[in-house]
Structure 1
Amino acid sequence: MENALGFLLEQSKDREDQAVLALNQARAELTNYYEQLSQIEQYRLDYCQQLIDRGKSGLTASQYGHLNRFLTQLDETLAKQKQAESHFKGQVDNCQEHWMDIRKQRRSYEWLLEKKQTEQQKLQDAREQKQLDEFSTLQFSRNKSTRDLF
């Protein structure tokens, strides 16, 4: 039984390590997502400023239409990026939940092993105490028999 629990504990430790790696990967992807989103937002702000600066010096309707279409494309890209946020957050949440479940399972195996070892130690202590009691009783009997002879 203890060997089976030990095996299960080792397997759960391996699964926990894998779950931690997956969680770290998901967190890194979320961080990368936010960095990309920030870069696109900054690019949009820079582009708007360029549009304003160029507008001050005069733009043709064609130039304005072209620049405005590009700005619309940037806005669409930002909207798509923002929709992806829930995916990345969901990945982190799922990985964290999975890791916590596996950690809980590992702790249960550890608790069972500790309980089993404590029970075995109590049995061993009881056997040793019984042997000591028997030895003491035997010693007492021998001493009494020896005293009775003299």
Structure 2
Amino acid sequence: MAADSALELILNQTADAEHKASLALNQARIERENYLQQLQQIEQYRLDYCRQLSERGQQGLTASAYNHLQKFLNQLDETLVKQKSAGAHFDQQVEQCSQHWQEMRKQRRSIEWLIEKKQTERQRLLDKQEQKMMDEFATMQYARRQMSR
């Protein structure tokens, strides 16, 4: 039964790897969600800043103040472009973690199936042996009855 304990060990290791992959997937999803929230905050900040710029413009601005505000708005736009380009990294990370978790899950299920198949086969053999013994016992009882007549 060394093969059984080896399979159980492999199953435990695979289940552990699946659990770690699940944790990594959850972490990647959290990081992506944090990224999306940060992006949304920057976009909201830019929108609020544009509103302020418009309101100040209606009240009158010097050319120097306008240029300063416009320069800051351009910096916000550049930050948003960089943030949006980083989004692909987070999506890719989630996808890779998801694929790895699915692979670990598939391996664990395969090993469980193999263990179950071996147990079913062993039980089938035990049932067959028991039936053979019962048949032999019944045959011997029949023979004894025939001899005692």
Query: Separation in 2 of the partners of 1:146 and 1:71?
Result: 111
Partner of 1:24: 26
Output aligned runs, 1:64-83, within 5 Å: 64-83=66-85
Partner of 1:44: 46
Tell me, in whole angstroms, the C-alpha distance in 2 between the residues paired with 1:146 and 1:79.
Answer: 101
Aligned match of 1:94? 96
Q: Report % sequence identity.
A: 60
Distance 1:19 1:146 in 2: 71
State the distance in 1 between where 2:127 and 2:27 align: 48
Amino acid at match of 1:21: L
The answer for unaligned runs of 5 or more in structure 2 is none
Partner deviation per Cα, 1:41-65 (whole Å, 9 max, x = no partner): 0000000000000000111110001
Instruction: Detail structure 1 runs of 4+ shifted over 4 Å in the superposition.
Output: none
Q: How many residues align?
A: 147
CA deviation after TM superposition for structure 1 residue 80, in Å: 0.5
Match of 2:148 in 1: 146
Give SS of 2:134's match: helix
Normalised by the length of structure 2, the TM-score is 0.97
Aligned-pair RMSD on alpha carbons?
Answer: 0.5
Provide structure 1 residue ranges, at least 5 long, that are not aligned to the other structure: none
